[in-house]
Amino acid sequence: MKRKRLVFYVSVGLIAYGVFLISQAPAAFLFDQARRYQPGLQTEQLSGTLWRGSAQALRLAPEPANAQRLSRPLNLNWRWHPLRLFSGLLGFQVHAAGAELELTAAVAIDRKRQLSFSALDGTISVRRAADLSRLSALMASAALDGQLAFNGMDVGIDEQGRIVSANGELSLRDIQLTLGDNLHLGDYTARWITKAQLVEAEITDQGGPVELTGVLQLTAEGDYSYRCSGQLGLREGAASAVRQALALLGRPAADGKWRFNFSGAITPGTIAPATVK
């Protein structure tokens, strides 16, 4: 009995010592692992250890020669959660702050190198989100801006940078059409749910000048692709500039609604031209 107890205490001690040694690994070790997901990751200053540290002036990709928004880096702080090792996860509490963003989340990496964000909270501008995901050219053509607010969302991303799960609520605040004078289109909500290989968001407006109901679907089964369908219309009292902008979509249906249904393929950092139906 005493021998078994001794073996138990020695084992616990060795595990604790091993965790201590891992926790003292320099922050550069974690930074090198992060580059598996974001090869262009850059930072001007790393400090701390795997247990607790920070990265200052962090950039997720090399800057193009004409970069403006990407020249505004972000600062990242983390704290390791060693108990998550018993679940087969390398987990951290992370806080990111910078121009037009402030986000917190519990971040974990599993054995398959899938990255998960739990209890994701905070805000980021639409343009800043596009820059960080290297979709700035797409957003420039879409001419949209506003603010994204995460409300405790859970998101999973595989090693190829594909969203494979999303659950929770995302608020889209003060969405604007940036053609000439900014046109304020109102607030919207996207409620995300994951069904097997299908990630789906139900999008609804919150009573602004543009009435919108739609569904966005992402699937990582086979080719990574998306489909978006729904309808939009104008509410009574909408500004004439908003009416003129929606008129660019063509003639509405007899009920005054514009219906849309388009799909396409996605690769990390780009979205292929949509197929409109």
Judgement on whether residues 21 and 134 belong to the same structural domain of the protein: no
Mark 204-234 as b/e (b = at least 16 C-beta within 10 Å).
ebeebbbbbebebebbbeeebbbbbebbbbb
Judgement on whether residues 124 and 189 belong to the same structural domain of the protein: yes
Judgement on whether residues 154 and 235 belong to the same structural domain of the protein: yes
Pinpoint the alpha helices (H) of 85-228: 126-132, 136-142
Judgement on whether residues 121 and 92 belong to the same structural domain of the protein: no
Judgement on whether residues 88 and 217 belong to the same structural domain of the protein: no
Give the pLDDT confidence of 124-152 residue by residue, as tens digits: 998 888 766 655 444 555 577 899 999 99
Give the span between the Cα atoms of 96 and 60, in whole angstroms: 12
Instruction: Provide the 3-class DSSP secondary structure of residue 43.
Output: coil
Within a 10 A sphere around the Cβ of 78, how many other Cβ atoms? 20
Judgement on whether residues 125 and 239 belong to the same structural domain of the protein: yes
Q: What is the pLDDT of residue 37?
A: 66
User: Which residue do the tokens 């001419």 mark?
Assistant: 143
Judgement on whether residues 59 and 140 belong to the same structural domain of the protein: no
Q: Which domain holds residue 270?
A: 108-277
Asked whether the predicted pLDDT for residue 57 surpasses 70, the reply is yes
Tokens of 123: 């805000």
Last residue of a domain, one of 37, 67, 99: 99
Q: Which range scores top for mean pLDDT: 16-25, 109-118, 160-169, 204-213? A: 204-213
> How many CA atoms lie within 13 Å of 42's alpha carbon, on the beta-carbon side?
11
Read off the pTM. 0.78
Judgement on whether residues 26 and 161 belong to the same structural domain of the protein: no
Judgement on whether residues 14 and 137 belong to the same structural domain of the protein: no
Domains contained in the chain, number: 2
Judgement on whether residues 55 and 19 belong to the same structural domain of the protein: yes
Q: What is the pLDDT of residue 35?
A: 72
Last residue of a domain, one of 99, 118, 143: 99
